[in-house]
Amino acid sequence: MNEQPRLTSLAHGGGCGCKLAPSVLRELLAGQPLAQAFPQLLVGTETSDDAAVYQVDENTCVIATTDFFMPMVDDPRAFGRIAATNAISDVYAMGGRPIMALAILGMPIDKLPPDQIREILEGGRDICHQAGIPVAGGHSIDAPEPIYGLAVIGLCHLSELRRNADARAGDALILTKGLGVGIYSAAIKKGALDQAGIDEMIASATTLNRVGADLAKRADVHAITDVTGFGILGHGLEIARGAGLRLRLSLGALPWLSRAQELAQAGYFTGASVRNWAAYGAEVALPDGTPDWQRHLLTDPQTSGGLLVAVSPEAADAVLALIRDAGLPLAAIIGRAEEGPAGIVVA
């Protein structure tokens, strides 16, 4: 009887670590037409935001996004759940609420049995059920590596739309989930993470970022983005560039998954972490003598990571309490936005 292959062994990368490097993506999108010809397109590709947003009437906006990747865990249902949570997050990061999803599926049907593929789809459907939305259709192909994700449609009131480019000088920065998912996935691929660690990572990556829709109702929350494949530095830079501000992050305030620093010091990191630093390291100032393992943590690709929120400083403690009460206990105030050239200073 043939032994079924590990899901992660069928893919050259996994999770949001599969994303193209930020520099490559900017090069590919250079010269694309801007949205001026479509005045109702409120958010396009200009600031590398999380989703497209189109205004349909004086109050209502439609949010559209798609996200898919290769497995970073071997359990097929967990893979489906993580991929779905990650895709839906883009709608929450814009301040919206999802209304439906379409499945995107590419599978090596000669290598994976139908029951495993069905488990992936069921995992995605589980998360959509938690989010209160149907999987209303989709598209599938025979592919050399397993790929799964969703296209998600959401709605928001115009006043609750939150871009990644609207941070203000003085804003406090809050991160809602612990970092280290890419480090954990690298350890999983090499068989070096125990079940407790795998369970911790899956629990984080399958926690919906639905708090984003609640935060967007607050006028003192100015900008939101989700932290995924480009790491905390890469997605922080998108906020900095969009707002024309400098972000100052406190290394000691960053929240981590429980074994992230230990595993990073032991040499577990992804190729995406290296590509991320090569793409944007010139825009980041790190403390003198920062070791490589610490830099890998800061550029670590987060699959279904947390939200990075820019909020008025006087409201920061109240917003942090709201986020923790929503089931995100690792949420922390990690820095602030300030006047200065666009970039990030880590201290």
Q: Report whether 49 contacts 148 (CB < 8 A).
A: no
Catalytic choice (16, 18, 61, 128): 16
Residue 90 among known ligand-binding residues: yes
Residue 48 among known ligand-binding residues: yes
Residue 12 among known ligand-binding residues: no
How would DSSP label each residue in 246-276?
EEEE-GGG--B-TTHHHHHHTT---HHHHHH
What is the rounded CA–CA span in Å between residue 51 and residue 75? 28
Residue 9 among known ligand-binding residues: no
Residue 226 among known ligand-binding residues: yes
Q: Among residues 341, 312, 335, 346, which one has the least CA distance to residue 244?
A: 341
What is the rounded CA–CA span in Å between residue 67 and residue 49? 13
In degrees to the nearest 10, what's the CA dihedral of 301, 307, 310, 311?
-150
Instruction: Based on the residue annotation, tell me whether 156 is a catalytic residue of this protein.
Output: no
Q: Among residues 198, 143, 182, which one has the least CA distance to residue 293?
A: 182
Axis-axis angle for helices 195-205, 181-189 (nearest 10): 140
Residue 67 among known ligand-binding residues: yes
> Look-up: residue for tokens 């602030």?
336
Q: Report whether 155 contacts 96 (CB < 8 A).
A: yes
Which pair of structure tokens corresponds to residue 125? Answer: 């459907």
Q: How many CB atoms lie within 10 A of CB 239?
A: 29
Residue 139 among known ligand-binding residues: yes
Which pair of structure tokens corresponds to residue 287? Answer: 């403390």
Residue 47 among known ligand-binding residues: yes
Helices (H) and strands (E) in the chain, counts: 11, 13
Residue 142 among known ligand-binding residues: no
Q: Report whether 42 contacts 94 (CB < 8 A).
A: no
Q: Report whether 183 contacts 264 (CB < 8 A).
A: yes
Please state the residue numbers annotated as binding site for ATP.
19, 47-49, 67, 90, 138-140
Please state the residue numbers annotated as binding site for Mg(2+).
50, 90, 226
Please state the residue numbers annotated as binding site.
19, 47-50, 67, 90, 138-140, 226
The residues annotated as belonging to the active site are 16
